[in-house]
Amino acid sequence: MICKDFKGEPISRLGMGNMRLPTVGGGRGAPIDFDKAAEIIDYAMKNGITYYDTAYVYAGSEDFLGKVLPRYDRASFKLATKYMASANPDYKAVFEEQLKRLNTDYIDFYLMHGIMNEDGVNGYIGRGCLEYFIEQKEKGRIKQLGFSSHAPVPVLEKMIAAYKWDFAQIQLNYLDWDMQDSKGQYEALTRAGIPVIVMEPVRGGRLASLSPKADALLKEAHPDWSIASWAFRWLLRLDNVQVILSGMSNMEQIVDNVNTFNAGGPLSDEDTAILEKACEMFRGEINVPCTGCRYCCDDCPMQIDIPAVLAAYNRAKLDGPMGMFGLMAINPGPKDCVGCGACASHCPQHIGIPEIMAELSEQLSKMPAGRGPMPPPPKP
């Protein structure tokens, strides 16, 4: 297992995420299957994984770790957990409950959980919450203080400025590097000297298989590598990445991941070029190839943010029906399009914008007003 120094101590590059542990009967929301999950943790420990991540809001996860981790010397692993202000405003009670659940008297890596926007920042800063956790750090009950974020760079910068954070956790993978501006977030943290813990390295499993053509290209280059392992090897190229979390939910995944991190080494430049080609192929097969140049925007009589619509359309294809919520938030949006075609003639990528707007408008009109099941996004 390859490790990286953190303030004088080695920590494994692969971290065990405990949000997707196996459940009884395999159902979502069902109780954690203790024996199956404990087998994964035992394998992780035996194979040198020293970072274990959970959160107050991961159902049953803290309680489970509180039972299984005491089998091991407390100094032999790092325990990370998180406080989410929106789930329970009583941060003092939550912290005490977490220590009890986890059966420990200190947390190695403690995070303000899930910053998405300015409201998220305000949930932790300026209401005594951050100050309380700093106090716990001074008492040695928290060793390192950080936060996790899905927020855009301007919001992230506000969080960065609030405290001298020991680390931060962001969603980072080769697909989101440009698509969700993970690059900008990574660079903002790196400029601030804050080590990065990576979440969603394989985008919730989406990068475990791209498309038949893209997968074939990667398999041709390295027949013995899993498609998911390319994502981990790509992340190892980034100097400021400390730990790469993977939410491993079966033995096959952890065995594959441990093999990848035992082999060590980031992707070579040559392999990175192959991955970029596969990624381009993948995007081309499923996505609208909008580059965000905005040449189409000026003449739109309805002032629709066309590249934002297309970016949300692409995300909906990757994320499934839930991704359609992003499209609902864009206003004026596809429903306002009058089909004039003033945009399409400016598009260097020759994207059929009016046709896509019409398809999306139809899809959106079929969506329920409340948060219910939704139809899949349209085909390109």
Nearest distance from C-beta of residue 270 to ligand SF4, angstroms: 30
Burial, 282: exposed, middle or buried (Cβ in 10 Å; 0-12, 13-18, 19+)? Answer: buried
Using CB under 6 A as the criterion, what x/- string covers residues 57-86 for binding ligand SF4? Answer: ------------------------------
Give yes or no for a contact between 124 and 112, defined as CB atoms under 8 angstroms apart.
Answer: yes
Q: Which residues contact 269 (CB under 8 A, 6 or more apart)?
A: none
**Interactions with ligand SF4, residue window 272-311 (CB under 6 A):** 290-296, 300-302, 304, 306-307, 310
Q: Which residues contact 303 (CB under 8 A, 6 or more apart)?
A: 332
Residue 345 found at the interface with ligand SF4 (CB under 6 A): no
Sign of CA dihedral 233, 275, 194, 150: negative
Return the number of the residue (48 or 289) whose C-beta is nearest ligand SF4: 289
Residue 151 found at the interface with ligand SF4 (CB under 6 A): no
Residue from the set 4, 222, 335, 346 that interacts with ligand SF4 by CB under 6 A: 346
Interacting stretch for ligand SF4, rule CB under 6 A, among 5-13, 28-36, 209-217, 349-357? 349-357
Return the number of the residue (22 or 307) whose C-beta is nearest ligand SF4: 307
Return the number of the residue (211 or 287) whose C-beta is nearest ligand SF4: 287
Q: Does the bond joining 289 to the residue before it have cis omega, within 30 degrees of 0?
A: no
Nearest distance from C-beta of residue 374 to ligand SF4, angstroms: 23
**Interactions with ligand SF4, residue window 318-337 (CB under 6 A):** 337
- What is the C-alpha separation between 245 and 198, in angstroms, rounded? 6
Residue 341 CA from chain centroid, whole number: 37
Return the number of the residue (288 or 374) whose C-beta is nearest ligand SF4: 288
Return the number of the residue (320 or 332) whose C-beta is nearest ligand SF4: 332
Interacting stretch for ligand SF4, rule CB under 6 A, among 73-81, 123-131, 183-191, 343-351? 343-351
Residue 164 CA from chain centroid, whole number: 23
CA distances from 52 to 77, 166, 248 (A): 7, 17, 11
Nearest distance from C-beta of residue 311 to ligand SF4, angstroms: 9
Return the number of the residue (293 or 322) whose C-beta is nearest ligand SF4: 293
Nearest distance from C-beta of residue 369 to ligand SF4, angstroms: 24
Return the number of the residue (247 or 307) whose C-beta is nearest ligand SF4: 307
CA distances from 116 to 86, 158, 189, 199 (A): 12, 12, 16, 14
Residue 312 found at the interface with ligand SF4 (CB under 6 A): no
- What is the C-alpha separation between 372 and 369, in angstroms, rounded? 8
Residue from the set 122, 127, 349, 362 that interacts with ligand SF4 by CB under 6 A: 349
Residue from the set 347, 352, 367, 380 that interacts with ligand SF4 by CB under 6 A: 347
Residue from the set 191, 321, 338, 376 that interacts with ligand SF4 by CB under 6 A: 338
Return the number of the residue (190 or 361) whose C-beta is nearest ligand SF4: 361
Nearest distance from C-beta of residue 371 to ligand SF4, angstroms: 27
Residue 24 found at the interface with ligand SF4 (CB under 6 A): no
Nearest distance from C-beta of residue 303 to ligand SF4, angstroms: 8
Return the number of the residue (278 or 290) whose C-beta is nearest ligand SF4: 290
CA distances from 374 to 27, 89, 205, 316, 378 (A): 21, 32, 21, 11, 12
Nearest distance from C-beta of residue 336 to ligand SF4, angstroms: 7
| Interacting residue ranges for ligand SF4, rule: CB under 6 A | 290-296, 300-302, 304, 306-307, 310, 337-343, 346-347, 349, 351, 353-354, 357
